[in-house]
Amino acid sequence: MLVLLPPSEGKAASGDGVPVALDRLSLPGLTAARGEVLDALVGLCRGDEDTAAEVLGLSPGLRGEIARNAGLPAAGARPAGEVYTGVLFDNLGLATLDAAAYGRAERSLLVFSGLWGAVRISDRIPPYRCSMGVKLPGPGALGAYWRGAMASELPEVADGLVLDLRSSAYAAAWKPAGEVASRTATVRVLQERNGKRTVVSHFNKATKGRLVRDLLVAGAEPKTPGELMDTLLGLGHQVELAAERTARKPWQLDVVVTEVH
C-alpha cells in the first residue's frame, strides 16, 4: 500500500544534523529536479525580500521564513516525519507508533512537497516554506513543474493499492492514470449532523491522520480499494462508496463522522 499525503505548513525547527543530501533522498529520479527547485528558492530568498514575500504568499508575520529558506543549503536536516507538524501529522502521531507500525509507515507513506517533490518520512530534510501553489523564477508553477519529473518516477513505486489523501494543490503534481488509477482510492470526509451531511474542511486533516494511524497500527495490508473499504469498516470507520468506479478511474470513498475534533 502506498499512502500519498500532503505536507503541512507548520514545521519543526531545523535539526542538529548535517544538511540535506539530495542524492540520498528517496525517489532518486527526482534528484535533478529537486536541485533546480532548491536553487531557485534559495536564490529568490537571498534577493529582494518584498519580491520573495509576494512570490511565496507570505504575510508580514511570516517574513522570517524568507531568511530560513535562504539558509536551506546549510540548515540541519531531520527526518521528514519529524519536520511536518500540522493537524494531519499530529493525529497520525508517528512518534508514538510502535516499531512495527513505524516500519510500515516508512515503507508506505509518501509526503508531497513543493520543494522536494515527494519524500519518505525517513528522508532527512530541513524545514522550509514553499507550497505547491508557488510559481518560482525558473521552474515556474511547481504543480506543473513536478508533473514532468513525477511521470516516470511515481508509477515505479505505486505497485499496489494507492490511498490518495492529498489536497487538490498537491494532487496536481501527479495524478494516477490508467491501470494505477483503477487501484487508487481518494477520500472525502463528511460530517453528519441532524440528518444532513457537509464537507469538512480543516478537520478533514485530523480524520485522515487518524485513519492512516489506524491502518498502520492494525498492520492492515489491503490490496485493492474494495479491500481498503472493508478494512476501514472493520476498524470502526463509517465508509461509503461515493462515486461509480470504472476500470481506469480512482475509487472515491466518503468517510462520515458525527463529531469534528
Examine the pLDDT at 124 and tell me if it is beyond 80: yes
Beta-carbon neighbour count of residue 212 at 10 Å?
Answer: 24
Q: Is the pLDDT of residue 245 over 80?
A: no
Sequence-separated (6 or more) residues with CB below 8 Å from residue 210: 91, 92
Q: CA of 59: how far to CAs of 40, 79, 80, 119, 234, in Å?
A: 21, 27, 25, 27, 44
Least confident of 102-116, 120-134, 229-243: 229-243
Pairing of strands 109-113, 2-5: parallel
For 105, the 3-state DSSP assignment is helix
Q: In this predicted structure, which of 53-67, 68-82, 182-196 has the lowest mean pLDDT?
A: 182-196
